[in-house]
A = this chain, B = another copy of it.
Amino acid sequence: MRPEPFFAGPGLDRADAARAEPERIAEFARSPLARELVWRDGLPALDADGSLQWCEVSDSSLFLGLNGDAPCFCGCQRDIAGGPAAFSLLAGLGIADAPLFAAALSLARWHSRHGFCATCGHENEIVRGGWSRKCPACSAEHYPRVDPVVIMLAEHDGRLLLGRQYHYPPKRYSALAGFVEVGETIEDAVARELKEEAGIDVADVTYVASQPWPFPSSLMVGCTSRALSDELTIDFGELEDARWFSRRDVAAAIQGREDAPFLPPPPHAIARTLLERWLAA
């Protein structure tokens, strides 16, 4: 079976049409089936089986959608945890609730940091069941961000380029990555990032898979590419190291062998999916 990225899958019915109807959302909130996401230490709380925890609705600010007949809500959160706390929670998160976890976390965090109108500075208000904020002063409407990020392998002569960021745990190497900028295609961004960070030119950029990554709200776009040379010029402002690994090296890392020359990206990261697909190809 083809390895799929974590966080992929349909998750909830987002019931998009209801967002424009505040009365319908209010009715959903009064339903005996309605439920609200439980938060703990700034993150969605998980049951022992890896599913999200729910309680009766007391704050229906954010309407996540319908799970079967059950309307699902999320209250406004002031402080959202990031970094290590968030990543360690992933180990216990079940795959079925992962897309909903990602949506709720990104949405709640966006609201926690966007209480004011970027256009005029006035306090703005939640509209569309939490899928937008509108300014009562200037009428500007602002939508939750989804930031596309390219993450890519480069192959040369059967070997893969992987890099280390300074904050990685010891021995970990992973795919290089960077934000897509205005005016760029996905393919242009892949080529630019590999040139900037590793000094290589690439061709044949090929899309592989995508993944929402809710820390805070990226859309990871996974690609492969063919490097025209293996001569690296590493940008040490961005990377601690980058080097080429053979198929045998990558296989040893994914299999978790003791003699592996590096530790692979964790199972929830799309970089891991890219390596697994490359090995399977």
A192 partner residues in chain B, CB cutoff 8 A? 10, 14, 16
Most buried by B among A11, A118, A119, A188: A118
Chain A stretch 38-88: residues in CB contact (< 8 A) with chain B:
none
A121-B123, A237-B17 known; A187+B146 contact, CB < 8 A: no
Rounded to whole Å, the gap between the CB of A120 and the closest CB of chain B is 6
Asked whether any CB of chain B lies closer than 8 Å to the CB of A25, the reply is: no
Q: Is A119 in contact with B123, judged by CB distance below 8 angstroms?
A: no
Q: Are B122 and A121 in contact (CB under 8 A)?
A: yes
Q: Would you call A121 and B116 a contact (CB within 8 A)? A: yes
| A interface residues, how many (CB within 8 angstroms) | 62
Q: Interface 1/0s, chain A 134-160, versus B by CB < 8 A?
A: 000000101111111000000000000
The reply to whether A103 and B184 contact each other, CB–CB distance below 8 Å, is yes
CB neighbours (8 Å) of A129 from chain B are none
Let me know if A110 is at the binding interface, CB within 8 A: yes
Q: Which residues of B contact A122 (CB under 8 A)?
A: 121
Tell me the minimal C-beta distance from A221 to chain B in angstroms: 7
- Which chain B positions have C-beta within 8 A of A196? 16-17
- The B-contacting residues of A in range 85-132, CB under 8 angstroms, are 99-104, 106-107, 110, 113-123, 131
A99 touches B144 (CB 8 A): no
B116 touches A117 (CB 8 A): yes
Does any Cβ of B come within 8 Å of A173's Cβ? no
Residue pair A102, B217 in contact (C-beta under 8 Å): no
Q: Which 7 A-B pairs have the closest CB atoms?
A: A103-B183, A116-B121, A106-B182, A102-B183, A207-B207, A186-B210, A114-B118
Pull 29 A–B residue pairs with CB atoms less than 8 Å apart, ordered by A.
A7-B183, A14-B181, A16-B192, A99-B183, A99-B188, A103-B183, A113-B118, A113-B119, A113-B140, A115-B118, A115-B119, A116-B116, A117-B121, A118-B142, A121-B122, A121-B123, A144-B181, A144-B182, A145-B145, A146-B181, A146-B184, A148-B219, A183-B212, A184-B219, A185-B210, A185-B219, A186-B210, A186-B219, A187-B210
